[in-house]
Amino acid sequence: MRELLRRLVKEEDGQGMAEYGLILALVAIVVIGVLTTMGSNLKAIFERIGGELNPNR
């Protein structure tokens, strides 16, 4: 990951930078979509785990 970031910073080709930017934007959109879709399920899972770890809650 660090190597990718170093290459992004050192990259002088404008087209390459634009492509990296588009890829990062696409990844961010996918992650937001997945978290939005699964958010309530993940919250319930973590609350159940928290309840089992601390039964006095």
Give me 50's structure tokens: 């928290």
pLDDT at 28: 96
For 38, counting Cβ atoms within 10 Å of its Cβ (0-12 exposed, 13-18 middle, 19+ buried), the class is exposed
Q: Is residue 46 domain-resident?
A: yes
Count of domains forming the chain? 1
User: What average pLDDT does the segment 6-33 reach?
Assistant: 82
Q: Is residue 43 domain-resident?
A: yes
Residues 6+ apart with CB under 8 A from 57: 50, 51
The percent of residues in the chain predicted with pLDDT above 70, rounded, is 84
In terms of pLDDT, which residue wins out, 7 or 39?
39
Q: Is residue 37 domain-resident?
A: yes
Neighbours of 11 (CB within 10 A): 13
User: What average pLDDT does the segment 11-34 reach?
Assistant: 85
In terms of pLDDT, which residue wins out, 25 or 19?
25
- Residue 46 structural domain: 19-52
Give the chain's mean pLDDT: 84
